[in-house]
Structure 1
Amino acid sequence: MTAEIRNLTRDDVTGLAAMFAKLSDLDLTLIREDLNDPEHVVSLADSPDLRWVAVDDGAVVGWAAVQRLPGWSDHVGELRIVVDPDARGTGLGRDLTKQALRSGFGAGLGKIVIELATDQEPVIEMFSRFGFTGEALLRDHIRDRDGELHDLIVLAHFAQEGLETLDAIGVVDALG
């Protein structure tokens, strides 16, 4: 896939809505932001810092964001990545993760975390290859739209400890 990854803009509101309409209920359960609300997406686009879309042939096929945590955890960023179901397995999630790590660490974050359902094994493996390690396992922490409970895993990547991994995937050079 040759998707262009760029900052989120107001022009992406309709494309994001189309991509999010394709997501499963479990996918939607794991997304904290209401990206189906056009007004909310416009507000995100108005401050695009650490928010990106992947566009392929005019269609939005991916979204990523690193949200800096507040207060005493302001050195930590929480990563969110969503890939269109039709574009999964193409390397787009990997490319969005590279963008997020490069930009997040470049913005001074010392740690980036992501929360995933434990049944997302291929995604967990991808993040492990990037140097993310397990921080916590929260049993029955997610309730899907059918009321079923799922375990949640928290993975973390530390900027200083993971420089060898970042160097191996070409992120260190981009950081300067």
Structure 2
Amino acid sequence: MSQTRSYPRLVQTEAGEIEFRLMAPDDEAAVLDFAQQLPVHDLLFLPRNISEPKVLSAWVKEIERGAITSLLALKNGTVVGCGTLVRDPHSWSPHVGDIRMVVSRDVRGQGVGRALSQETFALALGAGLEKLSVQMTVDQQAAITLFESLGFKAEALLSDHVRDVNGNKHHIVVLGHNVAQVRGQLEAYGLPGAVEGLAEAGPDG
């Protein structure tokens, strides 16, 4: 059921034409510049603080190793978003993928977040994963709504689970999407390709 996702891809948004492509080692400096311009709170979307050079370098090594797949959104050659799929084939959950996503404030509310979430979701589907999860702080309601539109549902609330660089603790909500279950239900009704179509739906964001 897995399929190959080809890049680069061009998508028209209210912010203009956005290019999606996989992050490569040569992108490290551009991604660091993007990350360092993000509000501290936004970085809590990611499992690591990629605004720190040494952390980003380790992140790039994980990409090279194949443990992380990062998708960049670029406008006129500048990084304006990053969607990441994390999976560990050697863990007890090789069938599960963890999605993280951040978007520049300059393009928010112009459809870039929606397009990036759809593309990252489609990338995860193409990897043949059975379940997807995403985490965010409870006050990031726009992001929660965005992923709920893709079929994600709240599964857990983790109190004081992350601490930002200022020492403030934040609650985290965990959303999950049982891709295998939904795919099985759709196939039972003779709609085997409908799950992939879910990645094309969603509200403007």
What is the TM-score normalised by the length of structure 1? 0.85
1:24 to 36, 39, 50: 39
Corresponding residue number in structure 1 for 2:64: 46
Map residues 20-169 of structure 1 onto 2, 5 A cutoff.
20-35=35-50, 36-37=52-53, 39-47=57-65, 50-69=69-88, 70-163=90-183, 166-169=196-199
Secondary structure of 1:160's aligned partner: helix
**Corresponding residue pairs, total:** 171
Residues 45-91 of structure 1: CA distance to partner in whole angstroms, max 9, x if unpaired? 53566321111101011111111134221100010111112122222
Return the letter of the residue paired with 1:107: A
The runs of 5 or more residues in structure 1 that have no matched partner are 172-176
- Indicate the percent of aligned positions where both proteins have the same amino acid: 31
Matched, 1:170 2:200: yes
C-alpha change, 1:12 and 1:160, in structure 2 (3 Å) is same
Q: Distance in 2 between matches of 1:39 and 1:143?
A: 22
C-alpha change, 1:88 and 1:165, in structure 2 (3 Å) is farther
**How far 1:25 sits from its partner (Å)?**
1.7
Corresponding residue number in structure 2 for 1:174: none
Q: Distance in 2 between matches of 1:139 and 1:33?
A: 18
Residues 91-115 of structure 1: CA distance to partner in whole angstroms, max 9, x if unpaired? 2222122222212122110111011
Secondary structure of 1:53's aligned partner: strand
Secondary structure of 2:92's aligned partner: helix
Secondary structure of 2:134's aligned partner: strand
**More moved, 153-162 vs 108-117:** 153-162
Task: Work out whether residues 66 and 79 of structure 1, in 8 Å CA contact, stay in contact via their aligned partners in 2.
Answer: yes
The runs of 5 or more residues in structure 2 that have no matched partner are 1-14, 184-193
Corresponding residue number in structure 1 for 2:12: none
Q: Distance in 2 between matches of 1:34 and 1:40?
A: 11
C-alpha change, 1:51 and 1:165, in structure 2 (3 Å) is same
Aligned-residue RMSD, C-alpha: 2.2
